[in-house]
A and B are shown apart, each in its own frame.
Chain A
Amino acid sequence: MTHYSVNEAAATIIESEILPRANQLNIEVHALKNGATVLDMGIRSKGGFRAGKYFAEIGMGGLGILRYKMMKLDRYWVPGLQVIADDPVICEMSAYVAATRVRWLGDLQVVSGPVRAILGSDEFARAVTYRDPNPRKAVAGVQCIVLPDEELAGSISQTCGVRAENLYIMAARTGCMTGAVQVCARNVEQSLPTVYDRGFSMEYILEGNATTPLCCIVDDEKIAYGRVNDCLIYGQEANLTVDCEDAEISRMLEYIPFSKNEDVYGTPFAELFERCGNNWAHVPRDWDAPCRINFFNRRTGSIFSTGRLHMKALEKAFLGNGGEVAWK
């Protein structure tokens, strides 16, 4: 069977659809001294709906589709998105999951994207057998507030096993349209590592799709970070088609969703993050949990569901301290 290269597919989208019209997409392209190419999709550049869609679909190695869709909360229809993953395990675990950590600016920077699949550069990439060795070009995604430089490109290059001159780095802040979209698109992405942590074999997973409300885009990075995570932990709903014994699913249901954290369920993520010193290293693993997952077991025909949406928390993320304005 022909090898499908997530990096080749991602690079092809960049080269055929972004580079020829980057300006029109509100994306800036920077060539670094070590040969790497940075796509600024929302740091100094404006980005937008289309840049956000590209960030996610490229990040998924061409195996995922993102489409925008209005979603109904209790009182409001809000912007939202849907992700459909062809081969969710490769698409997410090997590519889109943000899990590889590299040195940058005296700290650790999390990296997502197909570049992780070359060596299997973190535990989630190594959880699957798929590897993408020796691609012509490789693609990384980073969520950061500083434009990637030679140091970051060098670190990714070294950790992931790709020459810097063959590397594309997509970058966006959280506090912009592109950033909000690419984070809210981490719905199937968030679900797979969670079930993997519970010992669920990735070989059971056949298909995945999910929706997330896109409640809020704000400049303030800290507020934006809280709100996009609210969208995931209180608004994301994933459908996973699997093939296994029912017991494999039922044994883990109560441990999966964010709602299992009854003591904090409903608290804005920004507040929870504050309690952890605004440092992911101190965030309990149970707090990085999907809102709701529905399992459709092809083998038995059984359907399971765990978790629930929190409309009030989502409405708060949508409105902030705003509210209704009387027209007349």
Chain B
Amino acid sequence: MEVNRLDQSGKTSWRATLDMIYLLCNEQADLSYDYRDVNGWKLPCVDFRLDDPAEIVLPRCRTEDVDMIDKWQTCEVVLGDEVPEGLCRETVFLMQANSAAASIYRAFKMSLSVLCELSLPAEFLWSSVLLPPLCSDLGILLMREKLCWEWGSIHTIWLHNELDESVKAAMKHVYGCGELRIQNMTTANTWVAGHVEEALLIDTIKRNV
């Protein structure tokens, strides 16, 4: 078994985390870090551009003691301190739940969950998710991630559908994921739900939520 340890000794494995996500996407993605100017603060974000998002299957997830284990098609991802017994994939990625790698990984899974909730076959996806300031307190980090997700993430999905009304109806099932835009390549129209709340986001984070 090959164990890839990310974010060890407090150091962030930015590149290795993207490499991991690239593997989870069956290497059918263009991934990058960027930044967005959020009300005067340049905050980092991660951008996932997927060429075949419909082919990526969300992992089966299980929890053992305090560890969370995600079983993907090609590997397993463990959020914890050590690799638990009984893993069956040859490749394992291990990271602590309050690390930057874990935060980026959760952003990726959330982006995929948008597609699941939309329930329409997507041709392409571009998700841009703001990354929260890290905090060793996992509760605070998760709350910041939630804020970044709901107020700072932007998802553009390209799909084919004869009826814009069907697209609009489907979008109503996906609530609270920042700004969701669906570009219907059949009708040449783009529909937008939600919006980013950048000022509110940075103010809330500054109050150390």
User: What is the 8 Å Cβ interface bit string for chain A, positions 256-280, against chain B (1 contact, 0 not)?
Assistant: 0000000000000000000000000
Whether, in the assembled complex, B188 has its beta carbon less than 8 Å from a beta carbon of chain A, the answer is: yes
Task: Say yes or no: A77-B128 contact (C-beta < 8 A), given A68-B30, A325-B193, A327-B194.
Answer: yes
Interface segment out of the listed A3-11, A46-54, A104-112, A286-294: A46-54
In contact, B192 and A324 (Cβ under 8 angstroms): yes
**B81-120 residues at the A interface, CB under 8 angstroms:** none
B196 adjacent to chain A (CB < 8 Å): yes
- Does B32 belong to the interface (CB within 8 Å)? yes
Which size class do B's interface residues fall under?
35 or more
A320 near B190 with CB under 8 A, answer yes
The answer for the CA separation of A72 and B181 in the assembled complex, in Å, is 14
Partner of A77, one of B29, B50, B196: B196
Residue of B nearest to A52 (CB): B30
**Across the interface, which residues of A come within 8 angstroms of B171, CB to CB?**
325, 327
**Which residue from A53, A220, A328 sits with its C-beta under 8 Å from B30?**
A53
Q: How far is the CA of A320 from the CA of B181 in the complex (A)?
A: 13
Q: Are B188 and A48 in contact (CB under 8 A)?
A: no
Interface 1/0s, chain B 144-169, versus A by CB < 8 A?
Answer: 00000000001010101000100010
| Chain A 289-328 near chain B by CB (<8 Å), digits 1 or 0 | 0000000000000000000000000000011111111111
The distance from the CB of A320 to the nearest CB of chain B, in whole angstroms, is 4
Which residue of the partner chain, among A21, A53, A216, contacts B188 with CB atoms under 8 Å? A216
Closest to B28 in A: A24
- Selected contact of A26 from candidates B51, B172, B187, CB within 8 Å: B51
Is A198 positioned at the interface, with any CB of B under 8 Å from its CB? no
A55 to chain B minimum Cβ distance, whole angstroms, is 13
Determine the residue in chain B with the shortest Cβ distance to A226: B188
**Residue of A with least CB distance to B154:** A77
Cβ–Cβ contact B191 & A325, under 8 A: yes
Cβ proximity bits A49-80 to B, threshold 8 Å, 1 near / 0 not: 11101000000000000011110100011110
Residues of A within 8 A of B51 (CB): 25-26, 46, 48-51, 177
Known contacts A68-B30, A68-B49: A320-B175 contact under CB 8 Å: no
Q: Name the B residues within 8 Å of A77 (CB-CB).
A: 36, 128, 154, 179, 196
**A218:B191 contact, CB within 8 angstroms:** no
A322 touching B185 by the CB < 8 A rule? Answer: no
Which residue of chain A is the closest to B26 with respect to CB atoms?
Answer: A24
Closest to A322 in B: B189
> B126 contacts A79, CB within 8 Å?
yes
Least distance between A181 CB and chain B CB atoms (Å): 10
Q: 0/1 per residue, B18-31, Cβ < 8 Å to A?
A: 00000000111110
B49, A321: Cβ atoms closer than 8 Å: no
Q: Please give the distance in Å from A221's CB to the nearest CB on chain B.
A: 11
Q: Is B186 an interface residue (CB 8 A)?
A: yes
Q: Which of B28, B47, B160, B164 contacts A219, CB < 8 Å?
A: B160
B190–A322 touching, CB < 8 Å: yes
The answer to whether B193 and A324 have CB atoms under 8 Å apart is: yes
Contact of B154 among A21, A70, A218, A324 (CB under 8 A): A70
**A21 cross-chain contacts in B, Cβ below 8 A:** 27
Q: Is A169 an interface residue (CB 8 A)?
A: no
Contacts A50-B51, A68-B30, A79-B156 known; A216 to B128 CB distance under 8 Å? Answer: no
Closest residue on chain B to residue A222 by CB atoms: B188
A244 within 8 A of B: no
> B17 an interface residue at 8 Å Cβ cutoff?
no
B32 to chain A, nearest CB (A): 7
Assess the B158–A325 pair: CB atoms within 8 A. no
- Provide the residues of chain A in CB contact with B156, threshold 8 Å: 78-79
CB of A217 within 8 A of CB of B185, answer yes
Shortest Cβ distance from B191 into chain A, in angstroms? 5
Tell whether, in the assembled complex, residue A319 and residue B190 are in contact, meaning their CB atoms are under 8 Å apart. yes
Q: How far apart are the CA atoms of A139 and B26 in the complex, in Å? A: 29
**Counting CB contacts under 8 A, is A249 at the interface?**
no
Which residues does chain A contribute within 8 Å of B29, judged by CB atoms? 49-50
B123, B186, B192: which contacts A76 (Cβ < 8 A)?
B192
Q: Indicate whether A29 reaches chain B with its CB closer than 8 angstroms.
A: no
Judge whether A223 is part of the interface by a CB distance below 8 angstroms: yes
Q: List 11 A-B contacts (CB under 8 A).
A: A24-B28, A51-B51, A68-B49, A218-B188, A320-B189, A322-B189, A323-B192, A324-B193, A325-B171, A327-B172, A328-B175
Supplied contacts A219-B186, A327-B193, 18 more A-B pairs, CB within 8 Å: A24-B26, A24-B27, A48-B124, A49-B30, A49-B126, A50-B51, A68-B126, A72-B37, A77-B36, A77-B128, A79-B156, A177-B51, A177-B158, A318-B190, A319-B190, A319-B192, A327-B194, A328-B175
List the 4 closest A-B pairs by CB distance, nearest first: A48-B51, A322-B189, A218-B188, A320-B189
